[in-house]
């Protein structure tokens, strides 16, 4: 899957994306047929146990991007640019995005709209594909006062459309729209020629993305918009509990699981 392939899917086929943060899950989601894999800074919350994404570092992202890249996915591999790795200017953005690309990313995703126009434009100009991210920007959770829906007012909705158009003009190949009213996401989608990918923003985008741990039932407090497709937490607990019981009873390891000198 390439950036050009994703762009060509707008209006033709819905785009299915999901997050992954390591080699085994990247291999599995790719085998399941996803179009894009995002190594999200959401790893701070679902993998590292932080309350938000702000403590995720570039080093964290490089380790997880490289792990996902080792699965050699057919899906497009996109990496989040963590907090304050691009806001400080074009030079920093280029340097940090290039490190993510060297680790295996095929595109990067900073958060923001018109205010990061120059950053997006320069990344694209120097050969690094960019996916935009508007609506709820988790990296701005402190100023937003929490993970809240964005775009409820006419003024906010208008700004989202303007942000989307600015990102398109800057050269972004797609835009994630997070936690905005469905009607607003629809208006944004219709206002641009590049694909939009919804997360908690309704059915009118060109595609959808969810966090893998939410889909698998591994998240303690999943967001209201996330659909759980399996209760993997119970499966894991039951399997490990059975192992613990067999170890304590002496049932494991039984002869087929060890060798001795004959």
61 and 32 Cβ atoms separated by less than 8 Å: no
Catalytic residue (one of 87, 162, 169, 178): 178
Per the annotation, the verdict on 178 as an active-site residue is yes
CB atoms within 10 A of CB 178: 23
Please give the Cα distance from 30 to 171 (Å, whole number): 27
- Which tokens go with 129? 């594909």
103 and 65 Cβ atoms separated by less than 8 Å: yes
- Which tokens go with 12? 């033709």
What 3-state class would DSSP assign to 171?
A: coil
Strands 107-109 and 76-80: parallel
105 and 68 Cβ atoms separated by less than 8 Å: no
15 and 189 Cβ atoms separated by less than 8 Å: no
Strands 36-39 and 131-135: unpaired
Residue 212, CB-side half-sphere exposure with 13 Å CA sphere: 25
Residues classed as catalytic: 178
């Amino acid at each position: 899957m390439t950036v050009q392939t994703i762009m060509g899917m707008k209006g033709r086929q819905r785009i299915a994306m999901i997050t992954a943060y390591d080699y085994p899950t990247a291999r599995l989601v790719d085998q399941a047929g996803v179009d894009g894999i995002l190594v999200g800074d959401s790893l701070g919350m679902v993998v590292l146990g932080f309350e938000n994404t702000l403590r995720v570092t570039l080093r964290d992202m490089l380790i997880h991007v490289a792990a996902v890249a080792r699965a050699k996915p057919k899906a497009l591999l996109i990496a989040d640019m963590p907090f304050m790795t691009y806001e400080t200017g074009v030079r920093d953005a280029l340097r940090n995005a290039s490190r993510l690309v060297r680790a295996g990313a095929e595109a990067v995703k900073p958060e923001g709209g018109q205010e990061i126009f120059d950053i997006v434009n320069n990344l694209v100009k120097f050969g690094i594909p960019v996916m935009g991210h508007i609506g709820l920007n988790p990296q701005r959770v402190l100023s937003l006062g929490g993970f809240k829906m964005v775009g409820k007012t006419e003024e906010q909705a208008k700004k989202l459309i303007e942000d989307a158009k600015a990102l398109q003009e800057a050269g972004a190949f797609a835009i994630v729209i997070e936690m905005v009213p469905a009607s607003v996401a629809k208006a944004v989608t219709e206002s641009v020629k590049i694909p939009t990918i919804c997360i908690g923003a309704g059915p009118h985008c060109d595609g959808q993305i969810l966090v893998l741990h939410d889909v698998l039932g591994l998240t303690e407090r999943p967001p209201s918009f996330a659909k759980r497709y399996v209760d993997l937490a119970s499966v894991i607990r039951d399997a490990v509990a059975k192992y613990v019981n067999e170890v304590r009873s002496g049932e494991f390891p039984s002869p087929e699981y060890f060798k001795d000198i004959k």
